Structure 1
Amino acid sequence: MTKQSLKRTINLFAIMAGCATGAQAFAQQAAPVGDIEAAKGKVFMCIGCHGIEGYRASFPEVYRVPKIAGQNAEYIVAALKEYQSGSRTFPSMTAIAHSLSEQDMLDLAAYYAQLK
Protein backbone atom coordinates (compact mmCIF):
# COMPACT_ATOMS: atom_id res chain seq x y z
CA MET A 1 0.00 0.00 0.00
CA THR A 2 1.38 3.36 -0.94
CA LYS A 3 1.64 6.24 1.44
CA GLN A 4 -1.05 8.12 -0.50
CA SER A 5 -3.53 5.21 -0.49
CA LEU A 6 -2.90 4.71 3.24
CA LYS A 7 -3.67 8.38 3.83
CA ARG A 8 -6.91 8.06 1.79
CA THR A 9 -7.92 5.00 3.78
CA ILE A 10 -7.31 6.79 7.08
CA ASN A 11 -9.32 9.79 5.87
CA LEU A 12 -12.14 7.51 4.76
CA PHE A 13 -12.26 5.86 8.20
CA ALA A 14 -12.28 9.27 9.86
CA ILE A 15 -15.20 10.38 7.69
CA MET A 16 -17.10 7.16 8.40
CA ALA A 17 -16.54 7.53 12.15
CA GLY A 18 -17.75 11.13 12.02
CA CYS A 19 -20.87 10.12 10.09
CA ALA A 20 -21.65 7.34 12.55
CA THR A 21 -21.22 9.67 15.52
CA GLY A 22 -23.40 12.31 13.88
CA ALA A 23 -26.11 9.80 13.00
CA GLN A 24 -26.13 8.44 16.54
CA ALA A 25 -26.41 11.95 18.01
CA PHE A 26 -29.25 12.77 15.61
CA ALA A 27 -31.11 9.56 16.48
CA GLN A 28 -30.78 10.26 20.19
CA GLN A 29 -31.91 13.85 19.74
CA ALA A 30 -34.82 12.94 17.45
CA ALA A 31 -36.24 10.20 19.69
CA PRO A 32 -39.14 11.55 21.76
CA VAL A 33 -38.74 11.09 25.49
CA GLY A 34 -41.30 10.87 28.26
CA ASP A 35 -41.08 13.03 31.38
CA ILE A 36 -41.64 11.02 34.56
CA GLU A 37 -42.22 14.15 36.67
CA ALA A 38 -44.83 15.48 34.24
CA ALA A 39 -46.60 12.12 34.32
CA LYS A 40 -47.18 12.38 38.07
CA GLY A 41 -49.89 14.95 37.32
CA LYS A 42 -51.48 12.68 34.71
CA VAL A 43 -51.61 9.24 36.34
CA PHE A 44 -54.91 9.98 38.10
CA MET A 45 -56.73 8.67 35.02
CA CYS A 46 -54.81 5.36 35.08
CA ILE A 47 -54.28 4.50 38.71
CA GLY A 48 -57.93 3.77 39.52
CA CYS A 49 -57.88 0.65 37.37
CA HIS A 50 -54.27 -0.19 36.57
CA GLY A 51 -52.96 0.34 40.08
CA ILE A 52 -55.20 -2.20 41.81
CA GLU A 53 -53.99 -5.80 41.98
CA GLY A 54 -56.57 -8.15 40.45
CA TYR A 55 -58.97 -5.36 39.49
CA ARG A 56 -61.80 -6.29 37.12
CA ALA A 57 -63.74 -3.72 35.13
CA SER A 58 -67.47 -4.40 34.87
CA PHE A 59 -68.46 -2.33 31.83
CA PRO A 60 -69.28 -3.27 29.13
CA GLU A 61 -68.30 -6.75 30.32
CA VAL A 62 -66.18 -8.15 33.13
CA TYR A 63 -62.58 -7.63 32.11
CA ARG A 64 -59.36 -8.27 34.04
CA VAL A 65 -57.41 -5.01 34.04
CA PRO A 66 -53.66 -5.54 33.71
CA LYS A 67 -51.21 -3.84 36.05
CA ILE A 68 -48.90 -1.77 33.89
CA ALA A 69 -46.13 -1.02 36.38
CA GLY A 70 -42.84 -2.15 34.87
CA GLN A 71 -44.34 -2.61 31.39
CA ASN A 72 -42.17 -1.66 28.43
CA ALA A 73 -42.64 2.06 27.61
CA GLU A 74 -42.82 1.46 23.85
CA TYR A 75 -45.55 -1.11 24.39
CA ILE A 76 -47.61 1.32 26.51
CA VAL A 77 -47.34 4.06 23.88
CA ALA A 78 -48.25 1.62 21.10
CA ALA A 79 -51.28 0.36 23.05
CA LEU A 80 -52.50 3.90 23.75
CA LYS A 81 -52.13 4.83 20.07
CA GLU A 82 -54.11 1.72 19.12
CA TYR A 83 -56.93 2.73 21.49
CA GLN A 84 -56.79 6.25 20.06
CA SER A 85 -56.97 4.99 16.46
CA GLY A 86 -59.71 2.47 17.20
CA SER A 87 -57.67 -0.62 16.31
CA ARG A 88 -58.03 -1.64 19.98
CA THR A 89 -61.34 -1.11 21.67
CA PHE A 90 -62.48 -0.80 25.24
CA PRO A 91 -64.78 2.13 26.08
CA SER A 92 -62.88 3.62 29.02
CA MET A 93 -59.46 3.20 27.39
CA THR A 94 -60.70 4.61 24.08
CA ALA A 95 -62.06 7.70 25.84
CA ILE A 96 -58.87 8.21 27.84
CA ALA A 97 -56.62 7.68 24.81
CA HIS A 98 -58.55 10.29 22.83
CA SER A 99 -57.81 12.83 25.55
CA LEU A 100 -54.04 12.24 25.40
CA SER A 101 -51.44 14.02 23.32
CA GLU A 102 -48.43 12.07 22.09
CA GLN A 103 -46.35 13.73 24.84
CA ASP A 104 -48.90 12.63 27.46
CA MET A 105 -48.53 9.06 26.20
CA LEU A 106 -44.74 9.25 26.35
CA ASP A 107 -44.87 10.72 29.87
CA LEU A 108 -47.25 8.05 31.17
CA ALA A 109 -45.26 5.28 29.52
CA ALA A 110 -41.99 6.53 31.03
CA TYR A 111 -43.62 6.74 34.47
CA TYR A 112 -45.11 3.24 34.41
CA ALA A 113 -42.06 1.64 32.81
CA GLN A 114 -39.83 2.72 35.69
CA LEU A 115 -42.16 1.30 38.37
CA LYS A 116 -41.66 -2.24 39.62
Structure 2
Amino acid sequence: MKLRSTLTRALAVLAATFSCAATAQDKAGDNGITGDPAAARSKVSMCIGCHGIPGYKASFPEVYHVPKIAGQNAEYIVTALQDYASGARTFPSMEAIAQSLSPQDMADLAAYYSSLK
Protein backbone atom coordinates (compact mmCIF):
# COMPACT_ATOMS: atom_id res chain seq x y z
CA MET A 1 0.00 0.00 0.00
CA LYS A 2 2.86 2.39 0.86
CA LEU A 3 4.49 1.77 -2.54
CA ARG A 4 1.23 2.55 -4.33
CA SER A 5 0.85 5.81 -2.39
CA THR A 6 4.44 6.80 -3.16
CA LEU A 7 3.99 5.95 -6.83
CA THR A 8 0.75 7.95 -7.01
CA ARG A 9 2.44 11.00 -5.46
CA ALA A 10 5.42 10.67 -7.80
CA LEU A 11 3.15 10.54 -10.85
CA ALA A 12 1.22 13.58 -9.62
CA VAL A 13 4.46 15.53 -9.18
CA LEU A 14 5.65 14.52 -12.66
CA ALA A 15 2.34 15.53 -14.21
CA ALA A 16 2.45 18.92 -12.49
CA THR A 17 6.07 19.45 -13.54
CA PHE A 18 5.38 18.67 -17.20
CA SER A 19 2.29 20.86 -17.13
CA CYS A 20 4.27 23.81 -15.74
CA ALA A 21 7.08 23.32 -18.23
CA ALA A 22 4.68 23.20 -21.17
CA THR A 23 2.87 26.31 -19.95
CA ALA A 24 6.14 28.20 -19.49
CA GLN A 25 7.29 27.36 -23.00
CA ASP A 26 3.96 28.17 -24.65
CA LYS A 27 3.10 31.27 -22.66
CA ALA A 28 5.86 33.07 -20.85
CA GLY A 29 4.00 34.88 -18.10
CA ASP A 30 0.30 35.10 -17.46
CA ASN A 31 -0.41 37.60 -20.22
CA GLY A 32 -0.71 34.88 -22.88
CA ILE A 33 2.09 36.31 -25.01
CA THR A 34 4.24 33.70 -26.72
CA GLY A 35 7.95 34.41 -26.53
CA ASP A 36 10.14 34.12 -29.60
CA PRO A 37 13.78 33.18 -28.85
CA ALA A 38 14.92 34.35 -32.29
CA ALA A 39 13.38 37.81 -31.74
CA ALA A 40 15.30 38.13 -28.47
CA ARG A 41 18.69 37.89 -30.17
CA SER A 42 18.49 41.60 -30.99
CA LYS A 43 17.43 42.40 -27.40
CA VAL A 44 19.98 40.50 -25.31
CA SER A 45 22.68 43.17 -25.52
CA MET A 46 21.26 44.80 -22.38
CA CYS A 47 21.53 41.47 -20.50
CA ILE A 48 24.84 39.97 -21.56
CA GLY A 49 26.94 42.71 -19.97
CA CYS A 50 26.15 41.20 -16.56
CA HIS A 51 24.37 37.88 -17.09
CA GLY A 52 26.74 36.69 -19.81
CA ILE A 53 29.94 36.91 -17.75
CA PRO A 54 30.66 33.80 -15.63
CA GLY A 55 31.24 34.72 -11.97
CA TYR A 56 30.53 38.43 -12.53
CA LYS A 57 29.63 40.62 -9.55
CA ALA A 58 28.03 44.05 -9.88
CA SER A 59 29.68 46.72 -7.73
CA PHE A 60 26.84 49.22 -7.20
CA PRO A 61 25.69 49.92 -4.55
CA GLU A 62 27.70 47.07 -3.07
CA VAL A 63 28.99 43.78 -4.44
CA TYR A 64 26.16 41.57 -5.73
CA HIS A 65 26.46 38.15 -7.32
CA VAL A 66 24.78 38.26 -10.74
CA PRO A 67 22.60 35.17 -11.21
CA LYS A 68 22.96 32.86 -14.18
CA ILE A 69 19.72 33.09 -16.17
CA ALA A 70 20.63 30.75 -19.03
CA GLY A 71 18.45 27.68 -18.67
CA GLN A 72 16.17 29.33 -16.11
CA ASN A 73 12.42 28.74 -16.35
CA ALA A 74 10.78 31.20 -18.78
CA GLU A 75 7.87 31.94 -16.47
CA TYR A 76 10.30 32.77 -13.65
CA ILE A 77 12.22 35.20 -15.90
CA VAL A 78 9.05 36.99 -16.99
CA THR A 79 7.84 37.23 -13.39
CA ALA A 80 11.21 38.59 -12.24
CA LEU A 81 11.21 41.21 -15.01
CA GLN A 82 7.63 42.22 -14.18
CA ASP A 83 8.57 42.49 -10.49
CA TYR A 84 11.57 44.70 -11.29
CA ALA A 85 9.42 46.87 -13.57
CA SER A 86 6.78 47.32 -10.87
CA GLY A 87 9.26 47.88 -8.05
CA ALA A 88 8.31 44.68 -6.22
CA ARG A 89 11.97 43.62 -6.64
CA THR A 90 14.69 46.21 -6.47
CA PHE A 91 18.08 46.62 -8.07
CA PRO A 92 18.79 49.90 -9.90
CA SER A 93 20.00 48.54 -13.24
CA MET A 94 17.38 45.79 -13.39
CA GLU A 95 14.57 48.23 -12.58
CA ALA A 96 15.65 50.57 -15.39
CA ILE A 97 16.01 47.76 -17.91
CA ALA A 98 12.74 46.04 -16.97
CA GLN A 99 10.81 49.30 -17.14
CA SER A 100 12.03 49.78 -20.71
CA LEU A 101 10.73 46.37 -21.84
CA SER A 102 7.35 45.62 -23.37
CA PRO A 103 5.49 42.45 -22.35
CA GLN A 104 6.56 40.96 -25.71
CA ASP A 105 10.21 41.86 -25.04
CA MET A 106 9.99 40.12 -21.65
CA ALA A 107 8.45 37.01 -23.20
CA ASP A 108 11.06 36.94 -25.98
CA LEU A 109 13.97 37.30 -23.54
CA ALA A 110 12.49 34.62 -21.29
CA ALA A 111 12.06 32.24 -24.22
CA TYR A 112 15.64 32.89 -25.33
CA TYR A 113 17.29 32.43 -21.94
CA SER A 114 15.17 29.42 -21.00
CA SER A 115 16.32 27.71 -24.21
CA LEU A 116 20.00 28.00 -23.24
CA LYS A 117 21.97 25.61 -21.06
Same fold judged by TM-score > 0.5?
yes
CA distance in 2, matches of 1:60, 1:98: 19
Aligned residues: 89
TM-score, length-scaled by structure 2 = 0.73
Letter in 1 for 2:62: E
Deviation of the 1:51 alpha carbon: 0.8
Superposition map of 1:80-95 within 5 A: 80-95=81-96
| TM-score of the two chains, using structure 1 as the length reference | 0.73
Q: State the identity as a percent.
A: 72
| Maintained 8 Å contact 2:46/2:97 | yes
Matches within 5 A, 1:23-42: 31-42=32-43
How big is the shift at 1:86? 0.2
Aligned to 1:64: 65
Greater Rg over alpha carbons, structure: 1
Task: Name the counterpart of 1:76.
Answer: 77
Distance 1:75 1:33 in 2: 14
Task: Report how far residue 61 of structure 1 moved.
Answer: 1.0
Deviation digits for residues 17-36 of structure 1 (CA, Å, limit 9, x no counterpart): xxxxxxxxxxx798321011
- Flag structure 2 segments of 5+ consecutive residues without an equivalent: 1-25
Unmatched runs of 5 consecutive residues or more in structure 1: 1-27
